[in-house]
Amino acid sequence: MVTAPRVHAVCRWFRGAFARAHGISAALAVIVVALAVLVTLPGQAQARYASIVIDTETGRVLHEVNADTRNYPASLTKMMTLYMTFEALEEGRLSLHQRLPVSRRAQGMTPSKLGLRVGQTITVEQAILSLVTKSANDVAVVLAESMAESEFKFALKMTEKARELGMNRTRFRNASGLPNRRQLSTARDMAKLAMALIYDYPQYYEYFSVRSFKYGKHRYRNHNNLLGRYDGTDGVKTGYTRASGFNLAASVVRNGRRLIAVVFGGKTARSRDRHIMTLLDRGFRKARTLEPLPVLTPPPHKPVQAIREAMARTSGQPAAKATPAEPVVAQGDAATPAAKPLDKLIARISEPAPEAPVPPATTRPREVKLAARELALAQGDWAVQVGAYRDSDSARQAATRALERVPQILGSSRISVTRIRGDRGPIFRARLVDLARSRAQQACRLLESVGQDCLPIQPRGGVEVAANTERRG
């Protein structure tokens, strides 16, 4: 991984050797090397806050903000580790009561962990429960090493599986979610993974609803605070690192309807929980008011095609047919083909126009093109600024509040927090970007009507022209 100290060390070395060899100044040599290093940096997380809400019965996206922006998944990574564990159980490569050895690498993992030691063993079921509740990093490595030669090779398999599930903007580098600048995902991709867990392995998905787990003398409580607190919650997973903020993927079922919500970048666990509950409340209300679509409840033993059709419905493209595996005979049942778990790319969940519901599958091609054109017109090179603050978190919160106040106008925008120099230190500007001029102006009129400062901004020649409105965060 390229780090700032490494860049500085290389630059210092080149001041002498590179400059002497090429007859240029040391300062210019430093610039050349720094630019060379920067262009090799991997894709980085672009924004901390992102969210999405999906109706799993119809495949509709009910809400999204920065849903395709790459962020650090933190322990949401363990959802994929568990997906692959469930797959290994289904295929007979693991069994629930099988005991797995603890390696020196697993022992050396940083918290959160069970504190396992080299030479100990843990059953697969205990490992599953420890990931669901304690989010144990040492146990994630134990599982990874049981399914691959090393955790790194397991992470490569995780990325391959992500591609099979249609998680096209996700890349894994470890099984736990511990910090790694190359490990990135999106809210939309994590929603797809949650759907796959529910539809592919319903018999194992129930582990995500376990409230607590006792191991040795300790009892570990599930970090998902929505369980037992928010009506209908039955999973899925929390995550946190300093770089990611507080993440959460949640599944909630009410009156036979299941919604999945994903939030990245919460400031605290409590504010994240409150926010995702608000999004889910709005999602259930919105789902009731939209034009009905055929419900795609997965039939027993054949969940794959149902989830493909649900996801394809939002893209307007036909779903790929599930490829049956070899027949599997359950005791007392007739032989039936068992579908492979999402063995091809799932049709991508497209970005719906924020003003209107997603067109039904029967919509004519011309109507679909018009809907796409309307969405394109909603985007542009304008922005709105809703304040300037002394810290980035306050700026991001201000932008998020603005988006939530007028989602019908700002739903297609992207949150941008930029740092500039001020007379008394750095200032962080809170903006929502990628807007058409008319939408930027309309958004500011609406925000000002409810007492929030707002300034439409148009970039000119790559420089944004606007006055700064300073607020103390």
Phi, psi of 119 (to 5 degrees): 100, -20
Reading the block at residue 366, the tokens are: 């011309």
Residue intervals in the chain for CATH 3.30.70.1070: 377-465
Superfamily for 50-289?
A: DD-peptidase/beta-lactamase superfamily (3.40.710.10)
Residue intervals in the chain for CATH 3.40.710.10: 50-289
| pLDDT score, position 26 | 52
| pLDDT score, position 440 | 87
Domain 377-465 grouped into CATH 3.40.50.2300? no
| pLDDT score, position 44 | 54
Q: What is the mean pLDDT of residues 122-136?
A: 96
Residue 78 bears catalytic tag = yes
Out of 158-167, 362-371, 388-397, 412-421, which region has the weakest mean confidence (pLDDT)?
362-371
Active-site choice (135, 176, 350, 394):
135
Residue 310 has pLDDT above 70, yes or no: no
| pLDDT score, position 419 | 85
Residue 75 bears catalytic tag = yes
340 annotated as ligand-binding? no
Q: What DSSP string runs through 302-366?
A: -HHHHHHHHHHHHHTSPPPPPPB-S-B--TTS--BPPBPTT-SPPPP-----TTSPPPPTT--HH
Chain mean pLDDT for the chain: 76
Residue 438 bears catalytic tag = no
Question: What is the tens place of the pLDDT at every residue in 65-96?
Answer: 999 999 999 999 999 999 999 999 999 999 99
- Whole-model pTM above 0.75? no
Burial of 270 (0-12, 13-18, 19+ CB in 10 A): exposed
Question: What pairs with residue 465 in β-bridges?
Answer: 458
